[in-house]
Amino acid sequence: MAVSSSSSAQAARQVLADRLREMYRDAGLEGKQLAAVCGWHPSKVSRIATAKTSPSADDILAWCKACSAEDQALDLIASLRTVEGMWLQWHRMERTGLRRAQEAVLPLYERTRWFRNYAPNFIPGLIQTSGYTEDVLRAVQRRRALIDDVADAVAVRMERQRVLHEGQRRFAFLVEESALRNGLGSTETQVEQLEHVLTVGSLPNVSVGVIPAKVGRTRMPVEGFMIFDKVQANVELVSGYLTVTQPSEVAMYADTFSTLADMAVYGPKARALITAAMNSLG
């Protein structure tokens, strides 16, 4: 598994490593003895037990068998899957195409009641038009040389937007002013998208803030991120998709969102910036 810099992912790896280390100690074994029983080099046991290397499911099965603890194997493998889910390289997440990657996150959106999204470069996915989404996903498909199921992926993302109108949900979107002029796609697509932002921003349960591009700002742009209630944050990086669940780290993203929100303008001032971006497109 790829190693992420996220403390959430690292903390989860450490918990799994601690459980495996305690297991062989409870069995009265030393690391070298465990390695010998499993047919491994002793350094492998050391790397797994110190969370420097993530075990495979087969490694866990062999480990449990050597410790006469086969009854714990399934639970430990489930923990491994949770850890793996915290950090996914794009090629793993999208190996079967973009449509399934879009479908995979739908349940998360459906159970969320308070959604926050900071977007430094693009209009957030939940308030994108079909044409804008197609341009975004087409660029992703070409850059990562994926199979072409963009049309299906766009349909899934459009269907996801029903959560904006269902139930007692709240949505807060923050975009950098530069995201209004990112040059993606055609002029017609850009204008249509900005008009849609104005429309969605008028919904009573939706807040759209624009952070003006001006000299003297106190906080520089950071990576785009989404916060689902108070329990999870997701970050899309160049190399992969990060899921953050550690409360202290989710709180860091919430604090950052709050700081950026204080720098944004809303209502008539936000609409003025959006309208100015539309006018600049001619």
Question: Which segment, 1-5, 115-119, 211-215, 250-254, is predicted with the most confidence on average?
Answer: 115-119
Question: 62 or 221: which carries more pLDDT confidence?
Answer: 62
**CA 234 to chain CA centroid, nearest Å:** 3
Structure tokens at 62: 């062999």
51-69 per-position pLDDT tens digit: 888 899 899 999 999 999 9
CA dihedral 129, 131, 134, 139 (to 10 degrees): -110
Strand, coil or helix: 217: coil
* 193-211 pLDDT tens trace: 999 999 999 999 999 999 9
CA angle 100, 102, 103 (to 5 degrees): 60
**Contact criterion met (CB below 8 Å) for 208 and 264:** no
The CATH-assigned architecture of domain 94-280 is 2-Layer Sandwich (3.30)
Q: How far is CA 85 from CA 9, 22, 107, 165, in A?
A: 9, 24, 15, 29
- Identify the three-state secondary structure at position 137: helix
- CATH dotted code for 7-86: 1.10.260.40
pLDDT at 91 over 80: no
Domain layout of the chain by residue ranges: 7-86, 94-280
Tell whether the model's pLDDT for residue 241 goes beyond 80. Answer: no
Tell me the average pLDDT across 93-116: 87
Q: Minimal CA–CA distance to 9: which of 256, 225, 248, 242?
A: 242
d(CA 79, CA 224): 28
- Tell me, what's the pLDDT at 216? 80
